[in-house]
Structure 1
Amino acid sequence: MTPWRVLLTRPAEESTALAAALSDAGIFSSSLPLLETAPLALTGEQQAVFRDLGRYCAVIVVSKPAARLAVQLLDQPWPQLPWFSVGAATAQVLADHGLDVHYPKTGDDSEALLELAALREAVARPGARVLILRGEGGRELLAQRLREQGASVDYLELYRRFLPAYAVGELARRIQLERLNGLVVSSGQGLLHLHALAGPDWPRMAQLPLFVPSPRVLEMARDAGAEKVVDCRGASAAALLVALRSHDAATL
């Protein structure tokens, strides 16, 4: 198989960990973080949500930044209610602080989370109310499906996402300089930032194999004009490695 040389676009800390896992598997990667986060200032009303978590039957945390900020806001003793996350890495942040966390063992997306028996049981209760902790925007499908099951859903947005500043043409320069033959994004927002940073170079970038974490992001990528999109069925290093090993860079 033709060796992969891929561009990682996660936040710097996450890209470092992912790059190490790829290196151990003999895969070259280059990191160009396209997604950074900044905490949002919470109003008194929003802070009060954490003092009254007992009114919810479940709390869903959709990302590691949301998990890190949530545990900073929680007071002891923590409410005894089920917590849920989309993936294992987010769950670990919460579990490290003593919270009871459920997450799908296969698939790192909203669809997999919605299939969890524990979540279905929680929202089946009369008057079920769910709190979703997230960044600005995103995960609308999750709330929609929960409401269809009869639950009331509240959002608490803890951070905003932004594209770091790069020089014009930096993306194309990196790809050419390091002879990269694949691109990796871990979220829909990451894909949007990739498209934005590419600018007029996007038609050429769109010809490179693009590895995405879910069917939703796959559709977004195709709508944007990406020609060779691979759904890794998860955002973990293990899911990416399976996808890379299942495809040949020369034929994809």
Structure 2
Amino acid sequence: MSPWRLLVTRAEPEANEQCLALAAQGVFASVLPVLEIQPLPVTAHQQRLLANRYDAAIVVSKAAARLCLERLAGQPRPAEQWFAVGEGTGRLLIEAGLGAHWPLQGEDSEALLALPARTCALAGPAPRVLIVRGEGGRELLAGSLRERGARVDYLELYRRACPPGSAGEPAARVAAERLNGLVVSSGQGLEHLHALAAERWPELAGIALFVPGQRVAAQARQLGAQHVIDCQGASTAALVSALAAHSPGATS
């Protein structure tokens, strides 16, 4: 059995899926989602975007992939080239018959921008790109694409809400279940964890915090987290690799 005992905070259904995968690796994990995915109503603007033609579509999360595929049921695809920020999202697109690409190293905007397939897909003059996402986020991705001459549209399909919970609940769970690590999947997830922890945040700031990338790591340190571990991706595989490389009480 692994010495790690984790609090997994990502949205459902990914939270339970990750806990089951961790259990198969001998890692105990407890679920406390700090993000709730709320689909946005179908609008005429969304339908217009899906009826457009793009050189590439970039899907930033599993939630975005699922909702986009629902909206595309029985409709022509708005792009021939599809890209995903991470493997889990990319697999959903592949299963739906879309030829998706994603970075093999890293699951962030920088890794996606470095993909050779992405460069080839947007090699023409003023390429059109559709970014499929929730409300807000991935501004670096859009900004970088625009700097390279692309015209970028956002297809926003959901919002990330903070589920109801009592103040201090994350710290209470950590104490009750003797947890020694926290897992967040995004910057907004970290913000919600911090808010839910309330005045008990200092209790959490002293234990290992596993984050998906450098930007969230910097954000965590600004909030006072003392032991931040960059998994270089939000997938379970990336998390398991980070767990193997660190021991409780010896994190950095």
* TM-score category of the 2 structures, normalised to the smaller one: over 0.9
Residue 98 (str. 1) matches residue 91 (str. 2): no
Quote the offset at 1:17 in angstroms.
1.5
Quote the offset at 1:81 in angstroms.
1.0
2: distance between equivalents of 1:156 and 1:80? 13
Residue 133 of structure 1 is matched in structure 2 by 132
Residue 171 of structure 1 is matched in structure 2 by 170
1: distance between equivalents of 2:77 and 2:142? 24
Residue 45 (str. 1) matches residue 42 (str. 2): no
Residue 63 of structure 1 is matched in structure 2 by 61
Give secondary structure in 2 for the equivalent of 1:82.
strand
Residue 15 of structure 1 is matched in structure 2 by 15
Q: Which runs of 5+ in 2 are unaligned?
A: none
Residue 36 of structure 2 is matched in structure 1 by 36
Quote the offset at 1:251 in angstroms.
1.8
Residue 111 (str. 1) matches residue 123 (str. 2): no
Normalised to the residue count of structure 2, the TM-score between the two structures is 0.95
- Opposite residue 188 of structure 2, the aligned amino acid is Q
What is the percent sequence identity of the aligned residues?
55
1: distance between equivalents of 2:44 and 2:90? 27
Quote the offset at 1:10 in angstroms.
1.1
Give secondary structure in 2 for the equivalent of 1:12.
coil
Quote the offset at 1:41 in angstroms.
1.6
CA-to-aligned-CA distance 1:64-94 (integer Å, 9 cap, x gap): 1111111111134435510111011111111
Report if aligned partners of 1:2, 1:249 keep a CA contact under 8 Å in 2. Answer: no
RMSD, matched Cα: 1.5
1: distance between equivalents of 2:163 and 2:225? 22
Residue 232 of structure 1 is matched in structure 2 by 231
- Could you list the runs of 4 or more consecutive aligned residues of structure 1 that deviate by over 6 angstroms after TM superposition? none
1: distance between equivalents of 2:2 and 2:203? 20
Give secondary structure in 2 for the equivalent of 1:190.
helix
Report if aligned partners of 1:10, 1:34 keep a CA contact under 8 Å in 2. Answer: yes
Total equivalences in the alignment: 250
Quote the offset at 1:2 in angstroms.
7.8
2: distance between equivalents of 1:115 and 1:90? 18
Normalised to the residue count of structure 1, the TM-score between the two structures is 0.95
- Opposite residue 222 of structure 1, the aligned amino acid is R
1: distance between equivalents of 2:20 and 2:2? 20
1: distance between equivalents of 2:99 and 2:127? 19
1: distance between equivalents of 2:38 and 2:79? 29
- Opposite residue 233 of structure 1, the aligned amino acid is Q
Matches within 5 A, 1:161-200: 161-200=160-199
Report if aligned partners of 2:56, 2:79 keep a CA contact under 8 Å in 1. Answer: no
Residue 148 (str. 1) matches residue 147 (str. 2): yes
Quote the offset at 1:143 in angstroms.
0.6
Report if aligned partners of 2:11, 2:36 keep a CA contact under 8 Å in 1. Answer: yes
Q: Which runs of 5+ in 1 are unaligned?
A: none
Stretch moving more, 130-139 or 7-16: 7-16
